[in-house]
Structure formats: structure tokens, C-alpha cells
Structure 1
Amino acid sequence: MNYLVSIIIPVYKTEKYIEACLQSALAQTIAEYDSSQTIEIIVVDDGSPDQSIERIQPFLFSHPNVRLLRQENSGQSAARNHAITVAQGEYLYFLDSDDLLPHNAIEALYQLAKQTGSEVIIAQSKAFNKNRSWFIEDHAEVASSAFRQVNFNDQPILVKTTPPWAKLYKTEMIRQHAIRFPEGIGLAEDWIFVLHALSQANHISTTPDITYLYRGRNDVDNLSCTQQVNHKVFHDLMQVYQLTKKFSLPAEHQRLAKYFIIKSLLHRLLKLAKSCSLDTALPTYQVLATFLKIETKSEDWAVLSEHAKLVLDLLSHDLYLAAHHAAQHRYKMAWLTGTGNVLPATLFSRYQTTYKHTRFLPLKRIKKRVQSSLTLSAWRIKYQFAKILAGLYPKNGKIILIGERLGKTANDTSYHFFKHCQEDDSTQAQYFYTIQRHAPTRKKIHSYRNIVDYGSLKHFILFHRASAYVFSDNMRDIFRQWKRVHAEHAHKKKIFLQHGIFALNRAKGYYDRHSMEQRGERPDCFVVSSEFEKTLVCNQFDFQEEEVVVTGLSRFDNLPTTRSQPSGAILMLFTWREWLEKMSPEAFEQSDYCQKIVELIHHPMLRQMHAQHGLKITLCLHHKMAQYVQHLPIIENVRIVSMSDSDIQHHIIQADLMITDYSSAAFDMLYQNKPVIFYWFDHQAFFAKRGGPLIHPTQDMHDSIAYHCENALNLVQEAIQHQFNITQIQRAWAQEFFSHKDQNHSQRIKNKLQQLL
């Protein structure tokens, strides 16, 4: 029988996981057919000594499309190669026996393969463990690019997608070019298979759909190959680098390949230094030093941290003692000067500077621990005292505690919901809003009752007395030490209002059901704006349908549903980049993020349009950017405000056009049928960090996205010419996100909360 897809699963010592793995594979469907008709599952027993095969046997009897191949223990590569020779599927898919497939994973890949004709399809993957889930940056960057029919040599970032999983391969292409996994290598050997397949494919397409769930495990008695640290691991990585050379990669591809190997070696080098003595590690250090001197230059390490660069530099100069201790953040000038080697002045200076900066770190750490201990003790006393006081109050009526952004603002969905509850005379429960005493936006709610200082004794008492919590970001909006006390309050209802429609940002897996559950934050009610967004949240964040409620966002209540006469107001609103945090002002000024914003507001095209049309331009800065405001040039006719101390919604209502990157505030504009220009000057890096979008932007939003400043300003010019009317294409895809357009969003949320109570 010929199948559409063959799923290949090598098995070795995964008895704890193989059943769940097989169940996830058998749950796959393609074009409404069940897996028995379309998907072949080939399990390869690589001489597994545990009970894995016994766990597999029942599947063989009940599912005719599950096949078992057996071999003596020869390694994962040999097992995969064995399966490739007998696979009957039109396409191949590789699944590790401790990992899982999400719902509809194979169908998403297969449909894209048929649409594009690409011989390799690459998708998004998500990692998870018992505590959290996250996205792997390099994989996310490639998948989120949503390439269509691209050539490998034209896209260097394809080198970054190293594992064979979360990919679909045309079987005929694999066999025609004799593409196989190198045997005898235990780590990163599958990357060679991937590079070979990518280089031979007619073209490649990628998708942000999540089609693989990678289990991050740390079984003490059965470490995965990616967690092992021994001499062979380093030898394997260096051998893999040599194998990459056979593909004659373009220069940028080879640079990225080298960087991947350097990062992998460094990661394990730091582990090695902490886990064994210098004498044990010395043979490995010597081999590494030779590799670094022959195959790399210091420029290859330029983007690494200062600590990493110093360790590699010491190693490449045969300073094994200093490198061994530097890897553990320990420094002594004697380890450097006692070698008798002639050192480059720059290396000596960097080591000396690091030594001076770190010599008192142990004392500073002790001081910090003492201060933290005292602060925690004071908090515990206050918490327990508040608990006693809370018990003295009569238990009449329900108390709902509301907060946002760690008590720093009254701007977003929590504020708008509280405002509605305070103005609604039919309210029976008591709604309290907690906010820091000196928060700039507190003035917006000073006339309302039930305002509580965040962190005060009254706040602690109300936290104990509350029947429900309403938050827009995380439960620290309600109580800063939530992590320490969540188990005690797990029985209370939690309403997650979110602070913007989920479409362009997976937020690094922060809001998926598993991650929120591990933080004790899984909501009883996850508020969304439409049935379409509900489907996204259920499919991609793994929430159950009954946990997600379509009410619309509370802040939409204040948005007008009819447009006023355009006044030429343009609002620029850019989201923050977490990799900019703790950056010096000088470094921030040189960052691509700052440079792109400055280029936009300073561009001659924008100034010309302002002169011709009398534009009113407002640049609204993220609250974390406030410390860098003075480093932005003062541009005449561009008003700069901060979202931490201004009414964002007022600016959104006044604006005729928004220029943003990935802000969910774009949907507040689209709700009003106002045009939005998405200026994605760093989309690959951003999506790599955040896990990519939930939708397919290049399909749904193609007329709204600009990747260069001039393109963005051309779209501004078009908007002006069309009197700031939204395009039909943008209006059509935006409407999927709004099931309600009225002033009753908060009331629907309130009704749902009352049902829960």
C-alpha cells in the first residue's frame, strides 16, 4: 500500500514516552481520512534494552499502518536510514520517540507541500518540559519567515534550522540523491542530512504552523544526546563541521554553519568546566584549541557575550588553566601571568578588566542574599498578618481584585473593565483596582471608589478575601509574590483579559495553557475578541473550548464605531525588544531598533508629506524605552509621548493612520476601520525571539506590510491619497477578529464572571 506520509520513529530507551508519541502520531489525519489510510508509521527498534518494544506491541496489533523494524544497536542515524529504504510514503517525516505531534501537524505540512510543490517543507516547533514551554529561536526565525518556493542558496538563514524534525521531505528526492544520515556520529549528525536535503531540493517553503513538540528532558539515568558532555561530543561536533564543507556552501551559509558549531562547542565547554577537573578536561581543551586556531577567527565570535569571547580567546592561546576557571566565572591574574606565554595586549587587558570587575562579586552576592532574605521575611510577616485580619471580616458579598502591569498603569483592558464595573449601578460584587501610589496614570481613576495601593496592607488583605482575580498580563498584576502563594489560592476564579488580540505574536509560549498552568495562572476564563481568535488560542495555545469566551476586549467599549472627518493624525507605535534591556544608552543609540525609528521620523519623504498635508505625527514610546528618550533626535512636527504616562486610547481614537511593527494596538485601529501600516524592519529576529505569529501574515496581510522605510512611507502616501480609508483587503482580514462591535464588551465579561462565581 502506498501512503501519503511515512513517519519514522527510531526507538532506544524511551519506554516512558513511546506510547504518548505513538498516540500523537496515530491521531494525525490528512484530508479527513484517518491515519490508517494515509500515514505509515515506521518504528525502528535500535536494540533498545528497556521495555519500549513491549509498550509498542499493542499498537502493532490494533493499527495495520504501524510497522516495526528491528536491528542491533547501531545508533539513531542507522535506524533512520533503515526506515528510509523501506518507507512507502510519498513524503518522509522524522519523529523522535520521546517527542509529540500536535493536532493536524502532518496535514498542515502536506497541504503546503501540495500547494507549493516544494520538496522540503519546514514548520515551527515548540519545546516543553514539566515546568514550561518555549520556542527555539533559530527554528522560529526560519518558520516564521513563511518562505514560498525559495532556493537554499538564496536564503542563508535556512542553515539555522538544524534538526530533521518539523520538516516534510519528498521521498523521491531523498532516494534520488542518496541522502542519508551519517552513521557513527552521535550529535548534530542529523544537521548534515538536513543540509544535504535543502541543497538538493527543487525549492523550499516554510510555515509558522506548529508541527512538532520537542520534549526537554533530563533523565538522570538516560540523558539525551544533546545533554551529554564528554570528549566524543566535542569530537562529533568538530567532525560535523568538516562534513558541512562538502556542500560548498555560499560564504554566508558557511559563516552561519561555523557559528552554530562554535555555539554548540561553547555550550558544552561551559558545562564541562563545571563538571570535572582541569586534568580530566585537558585533552578536550587541547583538541578544541587546535580547532579554534585552524578553523576560526576572533571575528567568528563577535556576536557572543564578552564572557564567552574571553573563554574562547584564552583557549585559543593555550591558556587552559585560565580558560577552565574563566568558564566558571573565576579569575586570578596568576593563572594568566604564570604561564610564561607572550600574550596579546588586548587579551591581557580584557582579562585584567574582567578580574577587577568580578573580584568583589562573591561579597556582593552575599549582600544581595542577605537583603533578599530580610525582604522576604518582612513580606511573609505581612502576608500572614493580612491573612489573620482578612479572617476577621464578615464573609458577605464577593470581592473581585483587578490589576494590570504589576500595578504600574491604568490604561489597558483591566482598567476599562474596572471602569465599567464602577459605573454600572447594577453591580452587586465589590470590584477593587490595585495600582501603585505614584503611577502616572492613576489620575484617570482617582475619582472612583475601591482604589487600593499596590503592595499596601489593605492590598494584602483584599488579596486574601477576594473570590476572583482579573488580570491582563500575568498574576503578578494582582499580587507580586503570586508564585510563592498560588497553591493556597488555586480555588479562586481567574479571568484573563489579555492586553491585545493574539495574532502577530506568540509571546515565546508564555500564554499557552501548559505554561500558565505551571505558573498557577491558568485562567477559568480566557477572553478573546472573535470566534476566529478563539480557534487560534485553542489550536495554538492548547486551551479547551469551554475555557475561552468570545466577549470582545473591554477596551473596545470606548472606541467609536463610526469615523470622524480625517485630520491627518498619524500615530507611530512600536513594541519593545527584550534583547535591548540593560543596554547602555550609547549601545541603544547604535541599535538597529533605534536607528530604524530615527530614520523613519527623520526621513525627507515624511517631512515633505507633513509640509504638503499638515500631518499631525505622534510617536508613542514603549514604557521601557523612556530611559532612552533623550537619545532620540528632536524632530520638528513629531510629538513624542510615553505610553506609561499618557492615555494611549486617546491617541488611537484621534489617529487616522497607525504605523506599527507588531503591536496588538493595531487591532484597536482596525476595529474603527482605520488603516494600519506594519513596518517590519526586523521581522526575522523578532519572530525568532517571540515564537512567530499565529496567522500567516504574508498571505493575510501582504498589502499592509513594509520591510523598508521607503516602502512604509509609500504606503503612507497611498493612505493620504485615499483620504485615510482602509483598503478592502485589510478590512476583510481584520473583520475576522471582531465578533462584536458595540459598547457591551465589558458587560459580557462581567456576565461571564458572575456565572463563574
Structure 2
Amino acid sequence: MEKQISITKIKIRHSQILLFLNCPKKPETLQGELRFQNAWLNFCHPVAFYPVGKSLVCPINTDKLENYDGDWKLTIQDSNDTYTPVFTSRIRLSLLLGRHFVRNEETLFFPMGGASHSFLLRCRRWQKQDHLTFRIKELTAFGIAKLFGRSLKEKHMWLVYEKFCITAQENGFYFFEYCMKNKKDNVFFILDKKSPQWDYMQQYRKNIIPALSFRHILYLLCADLLISPDGRHHAYAWKPMPNPVTRTLNKQKLYFLQHGVLALKNVDSLFSVDSSSSVDYFTASSEFEKNIIVNRMGYNPDKVPVTGLARWDGLHDTSDPEHPVILLMPTWRSWLEGQNDEIFRQSDYYQHYTALLNSQELQNYLKEHELKLLFYIHPKLQEFIGTFHSEDSQIELYSFDSVPLNQLIMHCSMMITDYSSACWDAYYQGKPILFYQFDLDQYNKTNGSYIDMETELWGDRCTEQEDLVHLIKDYAENGFQEKQKYAEMRKEYFAYIDHNNCQRTYEYIKSQGY
């Protein structure tokens, strides 16, 4: 039987985190373990207990834990029951207002609340917003918002942002630019000053908010609506220590612009109406997709407008038949995010793509036919771009912030992916798609999809490098023409193919009273 134990106090002592538990059991009857929450990394450590007054103390020695980004969960058992440690309301307040952490050089460990206020120990790298000065800025902005936020709220602000607030090139950017060109002055864009798009966005400087600035925090607390292709947590510091700003952010209304059409990746656990990252409005591109959002994810049909994606307004085919370009863009793997180079190099993901980039057969064909292959790695795996290499002059590697992705998609003649929703942009333009799915079984276990990958894809599919290279040759020799059977599927997946997606999105938001 599963029960709860209250955590009544937390102390930091050098590299140890001491949890004081309200537990009547004797320490010798209990067994505890700290387990890393990653299906592919089986790290687990036993924990001990000793009595102090009426409490049991559970010391967690962070020096003994592996320094991988992620969360550790504590479970406690005796002969009859399993216990989940949970924070009392007083401890939750202490975590929000204080700073409880252990720093081992550039690695940070800190306690935070999980589901139902259960204890989690988060590990990640030290960030600039972990300094005390930033916590003071947070609390000051939070206090001002509570005392004087009414006047700011009268502006009825919409805040737009993209992944980690470091890009302005996705659905958020296109919607924001539409608003600026149509004089919608209550719309603001959050952007890091280090973003490659920062200089371009200065033409709208009055409506650009520097990420993690005092103004950013204050406006975030007082906005009417968040608008983004990403979840709420991307609107602020990524994986922060507990703080009152993030707590308020979790309650803000969010219009979800999406990344791409739902089909290749099951996101029920992330964005379903009952999930921790649920949204208030969920844009769709067709009735096909709306049915997934309503029937599979539980949203009210009235909250799922069929508008099309904002960034499609900016799509124009710029491919050159005389100089064809093939875009290779695999998506990320949840089991590889935040891992070190050694683990990444051992993965099927690395082994397959590095073998493809260095295929002599492929290199010879590219050179002979003057074809370019552009390899673009997903932003969540950008730290590993340096592990890939190719000596061939016909193959170019791009990190996600070096060139706007939509430019590459517009310029390419064909796209190769595995499960990336970015392929919808190429499909929208009538370009052929190849699906290279060598790890489908593992992907289905970890992510899953809304379609049958073997029968319902809108492009040719393969699982072997040899077959992929042959398909590349076939399409190249046919002038990169899309097959008719895939062209006919387009009307099911897109309700509109025009340049009015932003307008439909804006009109829907206004119809909701914002």
C-alpha cells in the first residue's frame, strides 16, 4: 500500500541534503532508495535513516550521485507499505522564497516539488540565474506585481516567445511580426540578447523584452495571455530552482501555436488536457488533427481552432532545380537529452547518422551529380553537433542557431527525417519526404505516434542505410518530384494552403475576449 510521509525540514550541510521526515517508524525497519528518472540510465542508490528528536533524518550525499541532467525520486519502504515523501505547505513556501541547493563545481542539485508536492532532487548545470542577485530581482518584481500590477494588467498584454526564449524564427515570430505589421501594440516578444535574431528584431524594439530582465519578469506576471509554439516553462528560466514567478506562470493562459501537425509524435503525456503542461487553446491545421486533439487529448472542440500554422505564411519555395539541395533533419531522442559525449557516441542515433554522413556510396553520388546534403541537428541535441563530421565538400553540417530552419526548408528540393514535425513545412510546399526510421521500435516504446508509421506516412519509408541511399538516387534522377499518391494525401492534412494563418489565429484569439 502506498502512503505519504511529510518532509518537515530541509537542511544543507556541505554536499549533503538532509530531509527531516515526520515518520513514526523505527529507522531499522525502513529501506529507501534514490532512483534516477531516466528509462535508459539505471542509476539507483540506497539511503539510510537516523532519528533526531521526533523526526527521522534522511541524508542524501550528492557526491555519490551521477552528474547527469535529470531528476532523482526518493521512495521509502517497510515490510508492508511504500511511502512517498511530500513537502508540507511550510516547506513549499520555504523553497519558493529561499535557496536550498548544493553546488559541486558546475553541477547543481536542488530539491523541488513533483506530482502532488512529492520530493524530487533535480540535477543540472549551474546557470547565471542561479546567482543570489537574480533571486533578489525575482522577488522584487514579484512584490511590485502584487502591489502595483493592476495598471500593467490594464494594457491587456500578449507575450510571445519560442523555445528557451532564444529564437525568433518559428510560429511565435511569424505571429508576432503579423501583429507588428498590423499595429497590435499590446503584443510583446521575449528574446535573449544573445539570440542570432536579436539585431533583426530591433526594428520592433519597443515590443521586444530582453529575456530574464526585470521587465520580462514583471510583464510575465501581469500578462493576459501567453502565445507560443512551446510550453509555459519556455517563457522563463529553464528548469529553475523553485520560485514564485514560475508558480504564477503555471497559472497563466496559454495559446499553443504548435510546432507541426500532430501525427509522428505522441504528445499526450506533455500536452493533454490532464497533463502538467496542458494548454488553454490548441491550434490545429485540419479536421484530422483537431480530432486527435479533441478525442485523444481531451480538449473542448471550441478551444481547438483550425487556423493552420503561423510560420506557413512565410513559406515560399526557393529551391533551385539547377542546384538541388537535400535537407537531412532528424529529430531528438528523449533518452539522449542532457547526456555526455561518451553515451551519445554509443547510441544508435549517432552510429546511424555518422555512418550515413560518411557513406562512400552517398558521397560519390552527391559529387557526381553536384548535389548538396545539409545536416541540421535538433536544438535539444545541439551540444552534440561537434561529434558529427564529414570530410566531403558536398555535405554541410548546421547547428540550429546558425541558419533559420525555414530558410533551409524553403531552399531544399527534398527532406529526409525520421519523426520530425518540421517535415510538414516541406510537405506543405509539395516537396518529397523520405523517412529514415532505423529505431522505430525504441521510438514507439518511448514516444509513440498517432498514425501507423508503416502504412500511413506521406513519403517513402526505410530502415536501412542502403535503402535510403537508393531512394535518394531515385528521387534525384526523377528531378525530386513528389509521388502522386503522397500529393493526394495533402488535402486531408491541410485545411488551408494560403498565407492567412496568422490572420485566422489573431481573429480567433480576439473572439475569445483578449
Provide the TM-score with structure 2 as the length reference.
Answer: 0.73
The Cα shift of 1:305 comes to 4.8
Once residues 393 and 744 of structure 1 are traced to their aligned partners in structure 2, the CA distance between those partners, rounded to angstroms, is: 31
> What corresponds to 1:410 in structure 2?
168
Once residues 695 and 606 of structure 1 are traced to their aligned partners in structure 2, the CA distance between those partners, rounded to angstroms, is: 30
Once residues 304 and 711 of structure 1 are traced to their aligned partners in structure 2, the CA distance between those partners, rounded to angstroms, is: 29
Once residues 356 and 421 of structure 1 are traced to their aligned partners in structure 2, the CA distance between those partners, rounded to angstroms, is: 48
Task: Give yes or no for contact 2:262–2:450 (8 Å, CA) kept in 1.
Answer: yes
Moved more, 553-562 or 495-504: 553-562
Once residues 363 and 490 of structure 1 are traced to their aligned partners in structure 2, the CA distance between those partners, rounded to angstroms, is: 22
The Cα shift of 1:490 comes to 8.2
Task: Give yes or no for contact 1:667–1:734 (8 Å, CA) kept in 2.
Answer: no
Once residues 526 and 508 of structure 1 are traced to their aligned partners in structure 2, the CA distance between those partners, rounded to angstroms, is: 13
- Specify the code of the residue in structure 2 equivalent to 1:328: V
> What corresponds to 1:327 in structure 2?
46
Distance change in 2, residues 1:539/1:498 (3 Å)? same
> What corresponds to 1:615 in structure 2?
371
> What corresponds to 2:425 in structure 1?
668
> What corresponds to 2:190 in structure 1?
434
CA offset digits 1:630-656 (Å, max 9, x no partner): 322233221111113321000000000
- Specify the code of the residue in structure 2 equivalent to 1:709: Q
The Cα shift of 1:388 comes to 3.8
- Specify the code of the residue in structure 2 equivalent to 1:724: F
> Aligned-pair RMSD on alpha carbons?
3.5
Q: 1:537 aligns with which of 284, 290, 293?
A: 293
Q: 2:64 aligns with which of 358, 381, 387?
A: 358
The Cα shift of 1:496 comes to 0.7
After the TM superposition, which residues 661-700 of structure 1 pair with which residues of structure 2 at under 5 Å, given as runs?
Answer: 661-690=418-447, 692-700=448-456
* Percent identity over paired residues: 24
> What corresponds to 2:217 in structure 1?
460
Query: Do structure 1's residue 511 and structure 2's residue 271 form an aligned pair?
Result: yes
Query: Do structure 1's residue 380 and structure 2's residue 139 form an aligned pair?
Result: yes
Task: Give yes or no for contact 2:220–2:249 (8 Å, CA) kept in 1.
Answer: no
After the TM superposition, which residues 50-449 of structure 1 pair with which residues of structure 2 at under 5 Å, given as runs?
Answer: 218=2, 305=41, 307-308=43-44, 327-328=46-47, 357-358=63-64, 364=102, 374=132, 376=135, 378-392=137-151, 395=154, 397-424=155-182, 427-449=183-205
> What corresponds to 1:754 in structure 2?
510
Moved more, 555-564 or 713-722: 555-564
> What corresponds to 1:602 in structure 2?
358
Moved more, 382-391 or 361-370: 361-370
Q: 2:485 aligns with which of 729, 746, 751?
A: 729
Once residues 687 and 642 of structure 1 are traced to their aligned partners in structure 2, the CA distance between those partners, rounded to angstroms, is: 26
- Specify the code of the residue in structure 2 equivalent to 1:605: E
The Cα shift of 1:723 comes to 0.8
Q: Which SS does the other structure have where 1:510 is aligned? A: helix
Once residues 666 and 305 of structure 1 are traced to their aligned partners in structure 2, the CA distance between those partners, rounded to angstroms, is: 30
- Specify the code of the residue in structure 1 equivalent to 2:431: K
Provide the TM-score with structure 1 as the length reference.
Answer: 0.50
> What corresponds to 1:575 in structure 2?
331
Query: Do structure 1's residue 630 and structure 2's residue 415 form an aligned pair?
Result: no
Task: Give yes or no for contact 2:283–2:304 (8 Å, CA) kept in 1.
Answer: yes
Which structure shows the higher helix fraction?
1
The Cα shift of 1:660 comes to 0.6
Once residues 632 and 596 of structure 1 are traced to their aligned partners in structure 2, the CA distance between those partners, rounded to angstroms, is: 11
Once residues 313 and 101 of structure 2 are traced to their aligned partners in structure 1, the CA distance between those partners, rounded to angstroms, is: 54
The Cα shift of 1:587 comes to 2.9
> What corresponds to 1:587 in structure 2?
343
Q: 2:254 aligns with which of 483, 494, 505?
A: 494
After the TM superposition, which residues 542-561 of structure 1 pair with which residues of structure 2 at under 5 Å, given as runs?
Answer: 542-560=298-316
Q: Which SS does the other structure have where 1:383 is aligned? A: helix
Task: Give yes or no for contact 2:286–2:495 (8 Å, CA) kept in 1.
Answer: yes
Task: Give yes or no for contact 2:373–2:395 (8 Å, CA) kept in 1.
Answer: yes
CA offset digits 1:353-379 (Å, max 9, x no partner): xx9952999994799559969565652
Q: Which runs of 5+ in 2 are unaligned?
A: 5-24, 32-38, 50-60, 68-99, 112-125
Task: Give yes or no for contact 1:566–1:656 (8 Å, CA) kept in 2.
Answer: no
- Specify the code of the residue in structure 1 equivalent to 2:260: G
Distance change in 2, residues 1:750/1:592 (3 Å)? same
Once residues 250 and 47 of structure 2 are traced to their aligned partners in structure 1, the CA distance between those partners, rounded to angstroms, is: 40
Once residues 725 and 654 of structure 1 are traced to their aligned partners in structure 2, the CA distance between those partners, rounded to angstroms, is: 15
CA offset digits 1:49-92 (Å, max 9, x no partner): xxxxxxxxxxxxxxxxxxxxxxxxxxxxxxxxxxxxxxxxxxxx
After the TM superposition, which residues 40-55 of structure 1 pair with which residues of structure 2 at under 5 Å, given as runs?
Answer: none
Once residues 726 and 402 of structure 1 are traced to their aligned partners in structure 2, the CA distance between those partners, rounded to angstroms, is: 35
Distance change in 2, residues 1:738/1:702 (3 Å)? closer
- Specify the code of the residue in structure 2 equivalent to 1:381: T
Distance change in 2, residues 1:731/1:635 (3 Å)? farther
The Cα shift of 1:513 comes to 1.0
The Cα shift of 1:466 comes to 2.3
The Cα shift of 1:477 comes to 2.9
The Cα shift of 1:448 comes to 1.9
- Specify the code of the residue in structure 1 equivalent to 2:164: L
Distance change in 2, residues 1:436/1:503 (3 Å)? same
> What corresponds to 1:474 in structure 2?
231
Task: Give yes or no for contact 1:575–1:662 (8 Å, CA) kept in 2.
Answer: yes
Once residues 30 and 62 of structure 2 are traced to their aligned partners in structure 1, the CA distance between those partners, rounded to angstroms, is: 29
The Cα shift of 1:485 comes to 5.2
Once residues 177 and 459 of structure 2 are traced to their aligned partners in structure 1, the CA distance between those partners, rounded to angstroms, is: 37
> What corresponds to 1:639 in structure 2?
396
- Specify the code of the residue in structure 1 equivalent to 2:46: A
The Cα shift of 1:564 comes to 6.0
Q: Say how many residue pairs are matched.
A: 418
Task: Give yes or no for contact 1:661–1:678 (8 Å, CA) kept in 2.
Answer: yes
Once residues 655 and 359 of structure 1 are traced to their aligned partners in structure 2, the CA distance between those partners, rounded to angstroms, is: 45
The Cα shift of 1:540 comes to 1.2
Once residues 672 and 479 of structure 1 are traced to their aligned partners in structure 2, the CA distance between those partners, rounded to angstroms, is: 34
Once residues 504 and 102 of structure 2 are traced to their aligned partners in structure 1, the CA distance between those partners, rounded to angstroms, is: 52
- Specify the code of the residue in structure 2 equivalent to 1:510: L
The Cα shift of 1:392 comes to 4.7
Max Rg structure: 1
Task: Give yes or no for contact 2:433–2:458 (8 Å, CA) kept in 1.
Answer: no
Once residues 483 and 749 of structure 1 are traced to their aligned partners in structure 2, the CA distance between those partners, rounded to angstroms, is: 32
Task: Give yes or no for contact 1:441–1:644 (8 Å, CA) kept in 2.
Answer: no
Once residues 741 and 465 of structure 1 are traced to their aligned partners in structure 2, the CA distance between those partners, rounded to angstroms, is: 36
